[in-house]
Chain A
Amino acid sequence: MSPASTDGDPVLVATGMTKSFFGNTVLADLDLSLRAGEVHGLVGENGAGKSTLMKMLAGVHAPDSGTVTVAGEQVSFSHPVQAQSAGVSTVFQEFNLLLERTIAENIWLGREPRRFGRVGPVDTARMRRDTDELLAGLGVAGLRAGTLVRHLSVAEQQIVEIAKAVSFDAKVIQMDEPTAALADHEVELLYSIIERLTDRGVAILYVSHRLKEIFHLCRTITILKDGRHVATRPAEELTEAELVRLMVGRSLTTYFPDKPVDVEVGEVRLALSGVGNGYVDDITLEVRAGEIVGLAGLQGSGRTELLETVFGVHPVARGSVSLDGSPLKVTSPRQGVRARLAFITEDRKAKGLALNQSILDNALGVVRSVFPRRSAQARRDMPGVLSNLDVAAASLGQEVQFLSGGNQQKVVLARWLSIDPLVVLMDEPTRGIDVGAKHRVYELMRELTRQGVAVLMVSSELPEVIGMSDRILVMRDGTLAGELPSGASEEAVLAMATGAASEDAA
Chain B
Amino acid sequence: MSATTDHTSPSAAEPREPRDSVRRRRAARPAGAARRLDSTGLIYLVLVGVIAISVVLTGMEGRNFFSQGNIWAVLTAMSVLGLIAIGQTLVILVGSLDLSVPYVVSLATVIAAGGMKGLDANIAAATFNALALCALVGLVMGLLVSLLHVHGFIASLGIGLVVSGYLGTNYQGSHGSAAPGLRLLGRSGIAGVIPTAFVILLVSALLVTLLLRYTRLGHHLYAIGGNQSVARMSGVRTALPVITAHVLCSVFAGIAALLLLSRTGVGSPTIGSQGRYDLLSIAAVVLGGTLLAGGKGSVIGTIGGVAIFAVLDNVMGVMQVNPFLKDFVRGFVIVLAVAVYARRSVVRRPPRFGASRPVLPVPSSKGDPA
Of B5, B27, B234, the residue contacting A81 (CB under 8 A) is B234
Interface residues of B in 346-370 (CB under 8 A from A): 347, 349-355, 357, 359-363, 365, 367-368, 370
Whether, in the assembled complex, B188 has its beta carbon less than 8 Å from a beta carbon of chain A, the answer is no
- The CA-CA distance from A188 to B354 in the complex, in Å, is 19
How far is A365 from B365 in the complex, measured between Cα atoms in Å?
Answer: 56
Q: Is B343 interfacial (CB 8 A cutoff)?
A: no
Which residues of chain A from 159 to 174 have a CB within 8 Å of any chain B CB? 159, 166-169
Cβ contacts under 8 Å, A137 to chain B: 9, 11-13, 368
Interface window among A100-108, A215-223, A232-240, A255-263: A100-108
Q: Beyond the given A96-B233, A134-B12, A199-B11, please list 12 additional residue pairs across the A-B interface where CB-CB is below 8 A.
A: A81-B1, A85-B1, A101-B222, A132-B28, A136-B20, A142-B361, A143-B360, A168-B7, A196-B368, A199-B368, A278-B351, A478-B353
Given contacts A128-B28, A195-B365, A302-B352, contact A113 B33 (CB under 8 A): no
Q: Are A278 and B234 in contact (CB under 8 A)?
A: no
Does A146 contact B357, Cβ atoms closer than 8 Å? no
Q: In the complex, what residue of chain A is closest to B354 when comparing beta carbons?
A: A278
A:271-324 near B, CB below 8 Å: 276-281, 302, 317
**A189 close to B (CB within 8 Å):** yes
Q: How far is the CB of A379 from chain B (nearest CB, A)?
A: 34
* Interface pair B234/A153, CB less than 8 Å apart: no
Q: Does A121 contact B (CB under 8 A)?
A: yes
**Contact partners of A155 in chain B: CB under 8 A:** 360
User: Given A100-B226, A105-B219, A110-B235, are A146 and B30 also a contact pair (CB < 8 Å)?
Assistant: yes
B35 within 8 A of A: yes
Question: Is A64 among interface residues, defined by CB-CB distance under 8 A?
Answer: no
A159 to B359, CA, bound (A): 13
B18 beta carbon closer than 8 Å to chain A? no
Asked if B4 and A85 make an inter-chain contact with CB atoms under 8 angstroms apart, the answer reads: yes
Interface positions, chain B 1-52, Cβ under 8 Å from A, are 1-2, 4-5, 7-9, 11-13, 20, 23-24, 27-33, 35
A109 within 8 A of B: yes
Determine, out of A179-187, A452-460, A498-506, the stretch whose residues face the partner at the interface: A179-187
Contact of A147 with B by CB under 8 A: yes
* Chain B hits for A169, CB < 8 A: 4, 7, 9
Are B291 and A100 in touch, CB under 8 angstroms? yes
Is B102 an interface residue when CB atoms closer than 8 A count as contact? Answer: no
For B, the interface residue count at a CB cutoff of 8 angstroms equals 60
Contact A122 B219 (CB under 8 A): yes
Q: Which of A118, A125, A137, A192 has the most CB of B within 10 A?
A: A137
A151 in the interface (beta carbon within 8 A)? yes
Decide yes or no whether A488 CB sits under 8 A from chain B: no
* Contact of A80 with B by CB under 8 A: yes
**A140 at interface, CB cutoff 8 A:** yes
Residues 83-109 of A contacting B (Cβ, < 8 Å) = 85, 96-102, 105, 108-109
How many residues of chain A get a CB closer than 8 Å to chain B's CBs?
A: 74
* Count of inter-chain pairs, beta carbons less than 8 A: 193
Nearest CB of B to A231, in Å = 30
Contact A121 B215 (CB under 8 A): yes
Query: Chain B residues with Cβ under 8 A from A98's Cβ?
Result: 222-223, 226-227, 230-231, 295
With a cutoff of 8 Å between Cβ atoms, the chain A residues found around residue B4 in the complex are 85, 111, 168-169
CB distance from A122 to the nearest CB of B (A): 5
Interface string of B324-345 (1 = CB under 8 A from A): 0000000000000000000000
**Which of B33, B214, B231: most chain A CB closer than 10 A?**
B214
1/0 contact string of A109-127 vs chain B (CB within 8 Å): 1111110001001101100
| Contact residue among A100, A125, A147, A188 (Cβ-Cβ distance under 8 Å from B295) | A100
Q: Flag if B367 contacts A139 (CB, 8 Å).
A: yes
Q: Which of A109, A113, A156 has the most CB of B within 10 A?
A: A109
In the bound complex, CA of A277 to CA of B353 (Å): 7
B260: min CB distance to chain A, Å: 33
Are B234 and A101 in contact, with the CB atoms below 8 A?
no
Contacts of B31 in A (CB 8 A): 144, 146-147
Closest A-chain residue to B214, C-beta based? Answer: A121
Distance from A306 Cβ to chain B, minimum over Cβ atoms (Å): 12
- Which of B223, B352, B363 meets A141, CB within 8 Å? B363
What are 14 A-B residue pairs whose CB atoms fall within 8 Å in the complex? A81-B1, A96-B233, A97-B230, A98-B226, A100-B222, A114-B2, A118-B2, A133-B13, A134-B8, A136-B20, A137-B13, A147-B31, A148-B32, A151-B35
* Residue contact B362 to A185, C-beta cutoff 8 Å: yes
Cα separation A167 to B270 with both chains bound (whole Å):
54
Decide if A79 is an interface residue (CB 8 Å cutoff). yes
Residues of A within 8 A of B276 (CB): none
Whether the Cβ atoms of B28 and A129 lie closer than 8 Å is yes
Which of these, A112, A125, A279, contacts B351 with CB under 8 Å? Answer: A279
Chain A residue numbers with a CB within 8 Å of B11 are: 137, 199-200
Chain B nearest Cβ from A353, distance in angstroms: 21
Contacts of A144 in B (CB 8 A): 27, 30-31
A353-376, CB under 8 A of B: which get 1 and which 0? 000000000000000000000000
* Structural contact, B360 and A140, CB atoms closer than 8 A: yes
A136 partner residues in chain B, CB cutoff 8 A: 12, 20
User: Is B216 an interface residue when CB atoms closer than 8 A count as contact?
Assistant: yes
